[in-house]
């Protein structure tokens, strides 16, 4: 279990570093006098908020291990936490997209589809129906959060360099 905690800890560090870097890059545009469109603000919110939620997800099993010794129970609690935070965040995110009539570029559509694909995996794992709850699955989800945050950030950079295209 120790190596799994090392992986989770490393993912947390990478996510924090990425969110900090991305937020600094996003703020540079504002510092140069540019005004972000509502869609660009939504992109910034996505990669910062989802990245920070990802940090809390990969840190939670490490904290729970201080109180619990059963890895399967730790993972199940973490899966329920992922489901709860993801449901609340995705509801808010989709509502925000609708509110500003945001376009749905391919990268955004793929990210949203990916989160919806993860949902049954998380539910089935949390309930112990199909998948065995392991810290590796938590790490895989944390990695998914990192990849999606980076993908949206890259799209934000594209919008930054080629506004309105």
Which phi and psi angles does 87 have, rounded to 5°?
A: -60, -45
Cβ contacts of residue 42 below 8 Å, gap of 6+?
93, 96, 97, 100, 102
Averaged pLDDT of the chain: 89
What pLDDT is recorded for position 161?
Answer: 77
Average pLDDT over residues 5-28: 91
As a whole number, mean pLDDT of residues 15-37 equals: 86
Instruction: Give pLDDT tens digits for 81-131.
Output: 999 999 999 899 999 999 999 888 899 899 989 988 998 988 888 888 877
Q: What is the pLDDT of residue 73?
A: 92
Q: What is the pLDDT of residue 64?
A: 96
Q: How many CB atoms lie within 10 A of CB 13?
A: 12
- 127 CB-near residues (< 8 Å, 6+ apart): none
């Amino acid at each position: 279990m120790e190596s799994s905690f090392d992986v989770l800890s490393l993912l947390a560090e990478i996510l924090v570093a990425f969110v900090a870097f991305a937020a600094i890059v996003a703020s540079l545009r504002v510092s140069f006098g540019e005004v972000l469109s509502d869609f660009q603000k939504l992109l910034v919110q996505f990669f910062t908020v989802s990245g920070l939620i990802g940090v809390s997800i990969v840190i939670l099993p490490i904290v729970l291990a201080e109180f619990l010794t059963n890895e399967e129970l730790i993972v199940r609690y973490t899966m329920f936490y992922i489901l709860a935070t993801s449901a609340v965040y995705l509801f808010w995110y989709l509502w925000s997209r609708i509110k500003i009539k945001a376009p749905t570029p391919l990268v955004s559509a793929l990210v949203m589809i990916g989160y919806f694909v993860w949902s049954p995996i998380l539910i089935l794992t949390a309930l112990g129906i199909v998948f065995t709850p392991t810290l590796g699955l938590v790490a895989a989800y944390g990695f998914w959060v990192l990849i999606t945050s980076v993908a949206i950030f890259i799209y934000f950079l594209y919008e930054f360099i080629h506004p309105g295209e």
